[in-house]
Amino acid sequence: MDALAPRIQARLDALAAISADEGAITRLYLTPEQARASALVVGWMREAGLTPRVDAAGNVIGRIEAVEPGAPALVIGSHLDTVRDAGQYDGPLGVVTGIACVEALVREGVRLPFAVEVVGFADEEGTRFNATLIGSRAFAGTFDPDKLDCPDGQGVTIAGALRAAGLDPDRFHEAARRAGEILAYLELHIEQGPGLERAGLPVGLVTAISGATRLAVTLEGEAGHAGTVAMDGRRDALAGAAACILAVEARCRTDAGLVGTVGSLTATPGAVNVIPGRVGFSLDLRAPDDGLRRAALADIGSAWEAIAAERNLSLTKRITHDAPCVPCDPAWMERIATAIAEEGYPVHPLPSGAGHDGMAVVALAPVAMLFVRCRGGISHNPAEFASLEDIEAGARVLLRVLRGLAAEHDASGPLVLDP
């Protein structure tokens, strides 16, 4: 069989050339760049033997029918949007590899006992409208229609952007699929972390997608002259925030898989000679176990209360995002594990600290994921990289999963998969 990776990489290069920013990769939801990328993917799907369409949310969907038209579908997917100044593998690798695997089956004349759909979700990152998983939530039927009024940085709402892209916001709900239409959702994705590189392995079996809680936090003290207010009389909100950030770091070092990040901080009034009287900062807390995440959140909250009391600061916090962890389906994990072993690799289970479209699609069907090693664990960065050898390993594992499903059907009669 011919290698799959060179063609996959060539298509990733072609997508990477479509960007709103010269010299970088930026492809946001409902932009002209995304429309160009979708058109390219539609062409590749048609070339592979899939029947392509773009749904009411802008998701690109290619389908190949089973022997019985209209049968439920196994969905292979990921996303086509990016963060700003992104790498070229996060998201598109899963879409392009899915197309390549279906194309290989078509060439071999393999017919699966159910339909297969490859989906390029239109928005996973949430970069433009600060609302993640728009495409996959629309697909799963869980998108809150009130969020169609969410504006981007220029005041354009999702509804307005849909109209500008030639889509009808009044028909957005038509992107929703019914549970019985989908058998399972499989996603191949770069790891976005260093686990596989440390293990010396090209692929890994995902056990769960970590749940996440995000907070907007405010500490208020009192602004004052930097030269005249004694150190023991200060109500320095920034110093208090520094202590709070260190408390997050200390708590998250105590449990494997628990991670906490303060990625945004704003001090007011922001002058070099004024004690900061007000500080706002964010918290992103993630874990592959919801109990662990909730316990850590409570511990961090208690530590912050103590810091605020000791420093005579007022503390307020607001949850801006809360999503449970999504365990991968055991039966589908077993199929992927078997394929990994048959390709000659040790089966290395690991959780995903990053969020993925499966967090939405699980409302419809079982979810499973396969990770491909990325150099240095770097992602959301132009330095993001997966080698041809590792891409080939991931593609062949995914293809073996599909062939294995056909073999299950041949060995035992009609293959029954509980949706």
Q: What is the pLDDT of residue 1?
A: 67
Is it true that 5-209+325-412 and 211-323 share their CATH fold? no
Q: pLDDT at position 109, please?
A: 87
pLDDT of residue 69: 82
pLDDT recorded at residue 131: 86
Given this model, what pLDDT does residue 255 score? Answer: 95
Task: Please tell me the pTM assigned to this model.
Answer: 0.89
String of DSSP letters for 189-235: EE-SSSHHHHHT-SEEEEEEEPEEEEEEEEEE---EETTTS-GGG--
Helix, strand, or coil here: 187?
A: strand
Q: Could you give the angle at the alpha carbon of 266 between the alpha carbons of 262 and 269, nearest 5°?
A: 155
CATH architecture group of domain 211-323: 2-Layer Sandwich (3.30)
Closest CA to 50 of 126, 108, 101: 101
- Domain boundaries of the chain, sorted by first residue: 5-209+325-412, 211-323
Concatenated DSSP letters of 106-149: HHHT---SSEEEEEEES-SS-TTTS-TTHHHHHHHT---GGGGG
Residues 6+ apart with CB under 8 A from 301: 317
Q: Give the model's pLDDT for residue 410.
A: 58
Instruction: Supply the pLDDT for residue 110.
Output: 84
pLDDT means per 10 residues in the chain (419 residues)? 93 98 96 98 98 98 89 96 96 98 92 92 94 95 96 96 98 96 97 96 97 96 97 97 98 95 96 98 96 98 98 96 94 98 98 94 97 96 97 98 80 48
pLDDT of residue 419: 40
Q: For the domain made up of 5-209+325-412, give the CATH fold.
A: Aminopeptidase (3.40.630)
Q: Identify residue 53 by its one-letter amino acid code.
A: R
